[in-house]
Amino acid sequence: MRIFDVVIVGARCAGSPLAVTLARRGFTVCVVDKARFPSETPSTHVIQPCGTAVLERIGALDAVLAAGAVPIDRFTLVNEDVRVDGRLDPAVFPRPGLCVRRLTLDALLVDSAVAAGADVRTGVKMTGVLTEGERTVGVETDRGHIRAHLVVGADGRQSGVAANVGAQEYLTTPPGRMPAWAYFEGVASREGRLRLARLGERGYLACPTDAGLYMVTIATGAAVRANRDAAFDAGIAGWPELAELLTGAQRVGPIRVMTKWHGYFRQTAGPGWVLVGDAGHFKDFTPAQGIADALRQAERLADVLPADLADGRAVDEATRRWWRWRDRDAQAMYWFATDMGAPGPPTPLVTEMLRDIAGDPVATQTLLRVLNHEVGPQRLMTPRRLSGAATRALRRRPGATGAEMATTLTDRLRRAHRSRRTPPGMAGG
């Protein structure tokens, strides 16, 4: 039986880019995915500029743009009566963000993996993993066994690889709002502007996407399940700017909903296996980080693997180092996303902090750099800005602000304590 260097389970925005880079390094790579492409999957559609850069480096950017992906170079964030408008400065952001349906993106990434020389098998379902002693040495599929020196789980939140190797979760967070999204045709504006909003109990993400469509995501509570169409229409009406933008437009297809999600980190490496993308870590969707994270993680993993993947000890040392990097890279944004997507109306303290950012062009660019994963959220939440926001918020709503500050402090201490714990399976690494 042939032994591949790597078998990757999952061919979407983590698996296929990883396959491209590994194949270019000269490794033999097999990719399996139960889906046949084009294929939809829950997603915010937005790729931050750092993810666009990875697409360029793997040679997929031109195809993605040719397929109609919309370059994003403008940004609007609305938080109750506060509005932050920004434009990506080309001197800071050499590449734009993108908005593209996964139906389009993932199929192009699969094509890139095939072109790079990977053995891509779609419509093939993984049913288990192969082991020798404690080491994972391949996967079982509904078409037979595939042996490899390294098994990569790039198969999303419901990762079969994670389940089969017993990867434990840590730093878990409960779900925030439930997102529902739909596409509209006939929207006059094709401006490359990403719109985010938090109004009352609802969160919004809206942007033009490929195929001439406009994508709208509205995140709210369980009421969406009871009467999806009515709840979505009410959400549009709840943001007059969005309702005006959609005047005369027609919804295309059903309203999609993502249910049963929560935030987590998973034990991400073990003997002969590693998890990448949502298989190893998932955060609140509000700041639209998932696709860019998957692309960056795949690129980093491909770079750190040793030249000889038959050397199990070297492979395991590399994947454990990568795991530690992943946690350092992801934690600050994880908590930032959790706060952005938290249920309930905007809080006075956050509103006042955003009011300060809205009046400061440098701070607005810093916010865009935070969303691009260039700098940590602490660059925005400075003691000076927090102090000024707290003072203004206390004047407006003293009782609510005092309670919020106490809760915020408690949360920060609890998160710091949890984050210092050694993740399951990492002890001694």
**What's the pTM?**
0.93
Q: Which one has a higher pLDDT value, 326 or 407? A: 326
Domain locations in the chain as residue ranges: 3-72+95-174+261-337, 178-257, 346-420
Question: Per the structure block, which two tokens stand in for 45?
Answer: 């559609």
At residue 3, the 3 state secondary structure works out as strand
DSSP string over 326-349: HHHHHHHHHHHHHHHT-SSSPPHH
Across 43-71, average pLDDT: 97
Q: Which one has a higher pLDDT value, 405 or 398? A: 398
At 346 the pLDDT is 84
pLDDT at 421 over 80: no
pLDDT at 223 over 70: no
At 377 the pLDDT is 92
pLDDT digits (tens, 9 = 90+) for 144-165: 999 999 999 999 999 999 999 9
Using alpha carbons only, give the angle 61, 62, 64 rounded to the nearest 5 degrees: 65
pLDDT digits (tens, 9 = 90+) for 9-24: 999 999 999 999 999 9
229 in Cβ contact with 255 (< 8 Å): yes
pLDDT at 45 over 90: yes
pLDDT at 43 over 70: yes
At 414 the pLDDT is 65
At 394 the pLDDT is 82
pLDDT at 109 over 80: yes
Residue 344 pLDDT class (50, 70, 90 cuts)? confident
The CATH number for 3-72+95-174+261-337, chosen from 3.90.1170.50, 1.20.58.100, 3.40.50.1580, 3.50.50.60, is 3.50.50.60
At 411 the pLDDT is 62
Report the mean per-residue pLDDT for the chain: 92
Residue 1 pLDDT class (50, 70, 90 cuts)? confident
269 in Cβ contact with 323 (< 8 Å): yes
At 391 the pLDDT is 85
69 in Cβ contact with 48 (< 8 Å): no
Across 162-177, average pLDDT: 95
Residue 348 pLDDT class (50, 70, 90 cuts)? confident
Across 404-416, average pLDDT: 60
- Helix locations, 341-397, DSSP H: 348-358, 361-371, 383-396
At position 218, the amino acid (one-letter code) is: I
Q: Does the CA dihedral 255-33-106-162 come out positive or negative? A: positive
Across 88-108, average pLDDT: 96
Which element (helix H / strand E) includes 321? helix 312-340
Q: From residue 324, how far is each of 27, 147, 301, 328 by CA, in Å?
A: 24, 27, 12, 6
Across 80-95, average pLDDT: 94
At 7 the pLDDT is 98
Across 22-31, average pLDDT: 98
Across 57-64, average pLDDT: 98
Tell me if the domain spanning 178-257 has CATH number 3.90.380.10.
no
Q: Which of 39-43, 220-224, 328-332 has the lowest mean pLDDT?
A: 220-224
pLDDT at 119 over 70: yes
pLDDT digits (tens, 9 = 90+) for 350-404: 888 999 999 999 999 999 999 999 999 999 888 888 888 888 888 877 765 565 5
pLDDT at 276 over 90: yes
At 331 the pLDDT is 95
Sheet harboring 74-79: ordered strands across?
82-87, 74-79, 193-199, 202-208, 214-220, 178-185, 250-257
- Give the whole-angstrom CA distance, residue 218 versus residue 204: 5
> Which of 223, 182, 226 lies closest to 202 in space, CA to CA?
223
DSSP E strand boundaries for 223-319: 250-257, 263-266, 269-270, 273-275, 281-282
pLDDT at 410 over 70: no
- Give the whole-angstrom CA distance, residue 209 versus residue 246: 14
* Helix/strand number for the chain, H first, E second: 14, 21
pLDDT digits (tens, 9 = 90+) for 280-310: 999 999 999 999 999 999 999 999 999 999 9
DSSP string over 123-179: T--EEEEEEETTEEEEEEETTEEEEEEEEEE---TT-HHHHHHTPPEEEEE---PEE
pLDDT at 429 over 60: no
Q: Which one has a higher pLDDT value, 3 or 175? A: 3
